[in-house]
Structures are given as C-alpha cells and as structure tokens.
Amino acid sequence: MSDKLTYATKLMQINKTEKKLIFDYVKSAKKAVSISEIKVATDFQVDRRTVQRWLNSAAEQGLVLITGERKTRKYESSSDKIKPTFKFLEGLPSSKQQELLSMLRTIWTHNSTALEGNTLNLGETQFILNEGLTVSGKSLKDHKEVMGHATAIDLLYDIISNELTVNKIKQLHKAVQTDIVFDIDKPYGDFKVVPNGTYLLLDNNSRIYHAYSKPFDVPKLTSALVEYIESCKPKNISEAISMYATAHLIFGQIHPFWDGNGRIARLIANLILLRAGYAPLVIPATRRLEYITILSKYSAKYKAPKAGEALYHVGNELDDFIVFCEECYQDTIELIESIQ
C-alpha cells in the first residue's frame, strides 16, 4: 500500500510540474499555439489527451481562449486580453459567468447555423464544441460549421474593445466558411466576384428575383456599413436592438460574400449590443420562416444599395424586422435567466 501511495504521490507531482510548464508556455507565447507547438517548446511527457483536458478545463474557467477546429485547434492565454463585460453577467461569480458564456456560445452557434440548414441539434452542438469529437451519422460539413461559428464568436469578442474593419469582417468569413472551395468565383475570406441574388416568395405565392449589391459596389458599401456600426452608441436596449436590425438588414442587402452572409450578418450586428454591455441577440431557428418572410418583404420593396446610395430605407418593413428582433431578444433573455 505504501508503494502505491508513493507512486501516486510522485505521479501527482509530475503532473503538477508538467501542467505548470505547459501553462507557463501558453502564457509566455503571446499568441495562439497548438498542442504540437506546445510539445516542441516544452517536451511534455504526459499524453496529449491529458494536455487537451487541462486546456479545456482552463478555457471553462476563462483562463485560456480556444480557437480553430479540432485538428487546427489553438490555445491562448486570456490574462493579457481585455475581457468584454456584459451587464447581464454583473454580480455573478466568475465561474458562473464562464458557464453562461459557454452555454450562450453554444445556443448562438446552434441557432445561427440551423437557420442555414445545419442538422445538428443543440445537444450535439454542445458535445462537439465541448469535447471536440464528432457525432455519428452527421456530416463533416455540419461539424465544421458549428466549429467555425464558435471560432467566429471568439473573434467577435476580440473586436468589442477594438475597431471593426473590413479586413476583420473578412476574417469572420474565413472562420464561418470552413468549406474551402478552390474556385475563383468563390473567394475564401474575400468579397464575391460574381453577382448574386435570391428568389423571394411573396404572400400571393408568386416568386420574384432580388439581386444583391453588385461586386463592384461591395467594398465601398461594406466600408460604409462599418462606419455605421462604429457610430452606433445606443443609450438603451431598445436603441441597441433597432441598430442591430438595421445593421443586419444592410449587410444582408449587400450580401458581400458568395456564402456565409446570414451568419456574418447576425455576428457583426451583435457587436452593437455587445459593446453596449448587453447579451447578444439570438434568432431562434424555430422562427426561420417568419425571419425569412420579414426580410423578403423588405427586399421585395427596395433594391439593394449601390455605392453612394442610402444603405437602408426607413418604413414599415424595417419596423417589422425591429419588432421581430425585440421578440427574439426577449426569448434570449428568458433563456439566459433560466440558465442562471
């Protein structure tokens, strides 16, 4: 028995030393590093799964930030980063704050990807994000989408205390567009090069084609949208939601990328709420038809903007979308309160 205790004690001491070595390196690296890079730098002797478990646990405590997909996953110390603050988290213990942020990240990712046709349910999304493992019977594309969106949320959080730029929007596209297509007409992390549009289904069951902004106009229009978002200083949650709806609608009309526009629209529009200290607005996948219908009514009435034109139009269509967003936000808050 004594020998077993001695061995167990030595093993604990070794693990403690290895763990400190690993975390010291992650902190000193001043950048996101992979487990392979950590191995080269520290030559740790424990198995990689143990290291991954330590780092995942640290991430749950808010000590480490995780980005990237399973094979390209990287880890970065959060100690030197300016952590965003949210009014809805005030007064909660740090551990509870991290738990809520983690769950909110999962809920946001699940609903936003499901709106685009992802088939993973909430539980499966949580399993993939927390464990980094795959779900049997589900496509690789679905797995990549949720990992990419979760990574994009982390990138968005980094922008809260910094300036939003056109290049940062392109970085978000790289995050959500996890299926890299080697096609000159489908740029990865860059604006579209060919026109795009969609068929709108109207109330009378007729269909009309709606063209989004032309590729030539996209750079200037996106810069103008960035200026709009940077100018948003909401005084209350009502103003924040109105600005969210407007920014979302503008991005959707420009449709600057060949794919992934909906996810990015819902991400960057939430920057307005996050900067004001509010929880992000999550549009439930269960309201997908209503969501598409309201946006279609706006698109049916107004052509997508050209460079130099007004980015959006005030009217009943925009008001309807604002009301819809207010309802979705209330759903989000009730969900957060139920988790608390």
Average pLDDT for residues 303-309, to the nearest whole number?
A: 96
Q: Which residues pair with 65 in a beta bridge?
A: 76
- Pull the structure tokens for residue 203: 């109330």
Strand residues in 167-306 grouped as ranges (E): 197-201, 207-211
* CB under 8 A, 24+ apart: contacts of 24-33: 26/55, 26/64, 26/75, 26/76, 26/77, 27/77, 27/79, 29/76, 29/77, 30/80, 31/76, 32/65, 32/67, 32/68, 32/74, 32/75, 32/76, 33/74, 33/75, 33/76
pLDDT of residue 16: 75
Nearest residue to 149 (alpha-carbon basis) of 106, 189, 191, 186 = 106
Tokens of 127: 């399993």
Residues in Cβ contact with 66 at an 8 Å cutoff, skipping those fewer than 6 apart:
55, 56, 59, 73, 74, 75, 76, 154
Q: Regarding the domain with residue range 87-339, which homologous superfamily does it belong to in the CATH classification?
A: Fido-like domain (1.10.3290.10)
Global pTM reads: 0.76
Q: Where in the chain is the domain with CATH 1.10.10?
A: 26-81
Contact (CB, 8 A) for 78 and 62: yes
- pLDDT interval class at 307 (50, 70, 90): very high
Here the tokens at position 225 are 């949208």
* CA–CA gap between residue 277 and residue 271 (Å, rounded): 10
d(C-alpha 206, C-alpha 36), whole Å: 56
Q: Return the CATH number of 26-81, one of 3.40.50, 3.60.21, 1.10.10, 3.20.20.
A: 1.10.10
Question: What pLDDT score does 132 carry?
Answer: 78
Q: Is the pLDDT of residue 139 over 60?
A: yes
Phi-psi group of 46: left, alpha or beta (phi > 0 → left; psi -120 to 50 → alpha; rest → beta): beta
Q: Please, where in the chain does CATH 1.10.3290.10 lie?
A: 87-339
Q: What's the pLDDT at 93? A: 82
What the block records as the tokens of 307 is: 């460079």
Using CA atoms, how far residue 30 sits from 20, 25, 151, 157, 291, in Å, is 16, 9, 18, 18, 42
- Please state, in angstroms and rounded to a whole number, the distance separating the CA atoms of residues 189 and 193: 12
In this prediction, residue 182 carries a pLDDT of 67
Measure the CA–CA gap between 269 and 251, rounded to whole angstroms.
9
Report pLDDT digits (tens) over 181-224: 667 778 888 999 999 999 998 877 788 999 999 999 999 999 99
CA angle 82, 87, 89 (to 5 degrees): 80
- Report the chain's mean pLDDT, rounded to a whole number: 87
Q: Binning pLDDT at 50, 70 and 90, where does residue 58 land?
A: confident
